[in-house]
Amino acid sequence: MSAMSRAIRAFGGGAASRRNLSVAASKEAPALAAAAAVVAGRRGGRDPGEDGSRVQWVFLGCPGVGKGTYAGRLSRLLGVPHIATGDLVRDALASQDPLYKQLAEIVNHGKLVSDEIIINLLSKRLEEGEEKGELGFILDGFPRTIRQAEILEGVTDIDLVINLKLREEALLAKCIGRRKCSQCGGNFNVASIDIEGQNGGPRMYMPPLLPPPECESKLITRADDTEEVVKERLRVYHDLCEPVEDFYRARGKLLEFNLPGGIPESWPKLLQALNIEDPDNKRSAAA
Closest to 142 (Cα-Cα) out of 69, 56, 75: 56
Cα 16–Cα 18–Cα 23 angle in degrees, nearest 5:
90
Residues with a catalytic annotation lie at 67, 144, 178, 222, 233
Bridging pattern class, strands 137-140 and 178-181: unpaired
φ, ψ (nearest 5 deg) of residue 141: 100, 0
Order across the sheet with 219-220: list the strands.
187-189, 178-181, 219-220
Sign of the dihedral through C-alpha 64, 147, 274, 86 = negative
The span from the CA of 177 to the CA of 208, in Å, is 9
For 135, residues 6+ apart whose C-beta sits below 8 A from its C-beta are: 40, 41, 51, 52, 53, 80
- Distance separating alpha carbons of residues 165 and 245, to the nearest angstrom: 11
- Displacement of CA 130 from its chain's centroid (Å): 20
User: Angle CA(262)–CA(70)–CA(35) in degrees, nearest 5?
Assistant: 165
| 54 in Cβ contact with 47 (< 8 Å) | yes
| Phi, psi torsion values for 222, nearest 5 degrees | -60, 145
278 in Cβ contact with 77 (< 8 Å): yes
How far is it, in rounded angstroms, from Cα 282 to Cα 287? 9
Q: Which helix (H) or strand (E) holds 161?
A: strand 160-165
